[in-house]
Amino acid sequence: MAVDPLIELRGVNKYYGELHVLQDIDLTVGRGEVVVVIGPSGSGKSTLCRTINRLETIESGTITLDGQPLPQEGKALAKLRAEVGMVFQSFNLFAHKTVLQNVSLAQIKVRRRRRDQADRRSRELLDRVGLLAHAEKYPAQLSGGQQQRVAIARALAMEPKALLFDEPTSALDPEMINEVLEVMRQLARDGMTMVVVTHEMGFARSAAHRVVFMADGRIVEDRTPEEFFTAPRSERAKDFLSKILKH
């Protein structure tokens, strides 16, 4: 695909004390591109995601979104967090608010929309993720897969330029994984720019434009899914794939 860079990391290094958790990371995510990040536990996948919407600071290198360096603080940082939505393993919905209120809240607080406008938009998005009928329920009344789809609708409500997913289906029972992946596939088809940390290799094969394989804080491979899955180059990737594809 012709690369019109939306997210760019250049020479990014991050430490947790002595631990060099991100090492010389160069990564470009094009507009409309879906990049799946895989790798062993502790390799730095979550940290990578968190640096992109600046939930974590970096020690050196640059990260730009749409050509602009990530803001350091204040209003600009709040705006960035809205522009780069994040969906986590745990859905982080407000338990005492309805599904509709969960999706509308940040639109009202951050985007300064009127409640009726926010609610209208929320209903559209809930319809898109197949949950309009559940708008007035509370999170605890929904299944895990439904709650995760609410979390996706909530992220979309901010009209993000990109969405980051950190193992969005890892906490779900197997029968609920697909309904979430299907929503993500639809987003990919609609042209959403997405960085997805996942162990779902079927999703990586079918929806990713590129697979980034990380090990020990480095990007070891960055290739098309076809190339990566049929002929991984590195020993680390071969070893990783042999372990996860076995079961």
Tokens 């434009």 correspond to what residue?
A: 209
Binding status of residue 42 toward ligand ATP by CB under 6 A: yes
Of positions 12, 45, 126, 145, contacts ligand ATP by CB under 6 A: 45
Q: Choose among ligand ATP, Mg ion, none what residue 149 binds, the Cβ cut-off being 5 to 8 Å by kind.
A: none
Q: Where are the alpha helices (DSSP H) in 39-98?
A: 45-52, 74-83
Longest dimension (CA), the chain: 55
Piece of the chain touching ligand ATP by CB under 6 A; list 35-43, 74-82, 130-138, 225-233 = 35-43
User: For the stretch 55-75, what's the b/e string if a residue is b when 16 or more beta carbons lie within 10 angstroms of its beta carbon?
Assistant: ebebeebebebeeeebeeeee
Report whether 118 contacts 110 (CB < 8 A).
no
CA distances from 53 to 28, 84, 245 (A): 15, 6, 31
Q: Which of 25, 29, 46, 165 binds ligand ATP (CB under 6 A)?
A: 46
Regarding 101 and contact with ligand ATP (CB under 6 A), the answer is no
Q: Check residue 21 for interaction with ligand ATP (CB under 6 A).
A: yes
In the bound state with Mg ion, the residue whose beta carbon lies nearer, of 46 and 148, is: 46
Residue 30 interacting entry, from Mg ion, ligand ATP, none, C-beta within 5 to 8 Å by type:
none
Nearer to ligand ATP among residue 99 and residue 195 (C-beta) = 195
Q: Which is nearer to ligand ATP, 78 or 171 (by Cβ)?
A: 171
44, 85, 168, 225: which one contacts ligand ATP (CB under 6 A)? 44
Q: How far is the CB of 9 from ligand ATP (least distance, A)?
A: 14
The helix or strand, by DSSP H or E, that contains position 62, with its residue range, turns out to be: strand 60-65
Q: Which residues make Cβ contacts (< 8 Å) with residue 97, sequence separation at least 6?
A: 105, 138
Nearest to 123 by CA among 139, 107, 112: 107
Give the footprint of ligand ATP on this chain (CB under 6 A): 16, 19, 21, 39, 41-47
